[in-house]
Amino acid sequence: MTTMKAAVVPKLGAALEIRDLTVPEPGPGQVLVKIEASGLCHTDIHAAHGDWPVKPSPPFIPGHEGVGVIQAAGPGATLHQPGDRVAIAWLGSACGHCGYCVSGWETLCETQQNSGYSVDGCYAEYVLADDRYVVDVPEAVTSLDAAPLTCAGVTTFKAIKVAGLRPGETAAIVGIGGLGHLALQYARVLGARVIAVDVEDAKLDLARELGADLVVNAKTTDPVKEITSYGGADVAVVTAASARTFEQAYASLRRGGRLSCVGLPADDTITLSVFDTVLSGKHVIGSIVGTRNDLADVFALHAAGRTRVISERRELADVNACFDEVLAGRVPARLVFTF
Ligand code: NAD
Ligand code: ZN
Ligand code: ZN
């Protein structure tokens, strides 16, 4: 019996504990993955705090940006072999046969399991995963880069796709954190002009370095006024975890504009004018992560040199301090636990 280190949420709202746990055995259809890099998504903080209407059940291990190498395969797990390097994303598994699953919307499957939420996740040295839902990581993508791409990347890639962003349009990216710094790059890949909004100057400096055409500090200036005077946004992708930012982003849209809702604030409710929505032909879209196929596209774009992942390495033992860093807005895009 070998043991592993894992960060466990013992109780919603409590500090995480580093525990020595038994390395699990892969069951039917499962693979055992030895984690090399595991990203810290803001969702993990919401999970540990119990911020959302649907709550996880402690004790559980968070984490859904896990990248590592398969050590063993359970009975019937034949799609991957030991030695394969794979990513474990939020979509831990889905039924594979409902209308959503067979129409390219597996992320909406009603019986899906979510890594680090409904099943144990990747803040651990070893993780069990569904052989069918892990995604191969191309050789040209390092594990350190692949981890943030596994949620932050695929989620914003998808959010921009569902918003139908077109070349020459203007995209406002609200929140330049783990998700936002990649959203900005996908908007540029599609040929849009990009406005970056955050409340931290360091994040806005990064946005400028990544090619933002305009940066707006929403703490010191009125983002609606700034964006409107720039001509308004055709698409606004909101990744900030505050309901107010969604209302501001909505108000910053041009006629025909699309609000792509991505952030999942604890203050869950926004107020929108039906009149404005109708007369201005605005669209409000919810976007949840992306499919396995979207993630393969994200990896391919990265391998082709189209994106840069900005991250810093951390030790899993420092997980609680890392949560504080993210909440204080001090993190250069993404923290990644490496093993
Ligand atoms: P993050 O903490 O790395 O980034 C959030 C950014 O928002 C930070 O840069 C912060 O400074 C900025 N911000 C805070 N208040 C702001 C304001 N008023 N205006 C503008 N910017 C502001 O977090 P992240 O990991 O990028 O995740 C962001 C959110 O997206 C979280 O709520 C997370 O749960 C959610 N999420 C959703 C999905 C999905 O599928 N929809 C997937 C992953 C994460
Ligand atoms: Zn399904
Ligand atoms: Zn995530």
Q: Which atom of ligand 1 is nearest to the CA of 329?
A: 11
Rounded CA-CA distance 78/6 in Å is 27
Q: Which ligand is nearest to the CA of 181?
A: 1
Q: What is the model's pLDDT at position 323?
A: 98
Q: What is the model's pLDDT at position 85?
A: 98
Q: What is the pLDDT of residues 237-270, one digit of tens each?
A: 999 999 999 999 999 999 999 999 999 999 999 9
Q: What number is the average pLDDT over the span 84-102?
A: 98
Q: What is the model's pLDDT at position 15?
A: 98
Looking at every residue in the chain, the average pLDDT score rounds to: 98
Q: What is the pLDDT of residues 222-232, one digit of tens each?
A: 999 999 999 99
Q: What is the pLDDT of residues 265-292, one digit of tens each?
A: 999 999 999 999 999 999 999 999 999 9
Query: Does any ligand 1 atom lie closer than 6 A to the CB of residue 242?
Result: yes
Q: Is 200 within 8 Å of 175 (Cβ atoms)?
A: no
Q: What number is the average pLDDT over the span 302-314?
A: 98
Residue 193 tokens, joined: 């002009």
**Best residue for ligand 1 mutational test, from 198, 204, 325 (most atoms within 8 Å of Cβ):** 198
Output the CA 291–ligand 2 centroid distance in Å: 12
Query: Does any ligand 1 atom lie closer than 6 A to the CB of residue 39?
Result: no
| Pairing outcome for strands 113-114 and 17-22 | unpaired
Q: Is 116 within 8 Å of 122 (Cβ atoms)?
A: yes
Above 80 in pLDDT, residue 1? Answer: no
Distances (CA, A) of 300 to 139, 142, 289: 10, 12, 17
Q: Is 286 within 8 Å of 155 (Cβ atoms)?
A: no
Rounded CA-CA distance 297/45 in Å is 27
Looking at residue 219, the DSSP 8-state letter turns out to be T
Q: What is the pLDDT of residues 16-38, one digit of tens each?
A: 999 999 999 999 999 999 999 99
Q: Which ligand is nearest to the CA of 98?
A: 2
Q: Is 183 within 8 Å of 237 (Cβ atoms)?
A: yes
Residue 108 tokens, joined: 């909406």
Residue 60 tokens, joined: 């559980």
Above 80 in pLDDT, residue 235? Answer: yes
Query: Does any ligand 1 atom lie closer than 6 A to the CB of residue 43?
Result: yes
Query: Does any ligand 1 atom lie closer than 6 A to the CB of residue 236?
Result: no
Rounded CA-CA distance 163/169 in Å is 11
**Best residue for ligand 1 mutational test, from 91, 107, 122, 179 (most atoms within 8 Å of Cβ):** 179
Query: Does any ligand 1 atom lie closer than 6 A to the CB of residue 151?
Result: yes
**Shortest-distance Cα residue to atom 31 of ligand 1:** 263
Burial class (CB in 10 A: 0-12, 13-18, 19+), 229: exposed
Q: Which atom of ligand 1 is nearest to the CA of 40?
A: 25
Q: What is the model's pLDDT at position 197?
A: 98
Q: What is the model's pLDDT at position 272?
A: 96
Output the CA 82–ligand 1 centroid distance in Å: 35
Q: What is the pLDDT of residues 35-71, one digit of tens each?
A: 999 999 999 999 999 999 999 999 999 999 999 999 9
Percentage, residues of the chain above pLDDT 70 = 100
Output the CA 72–ligand 1 centroid distance in Å: 35
Least confident of 180-184, 205-209, 265-269: 265-269
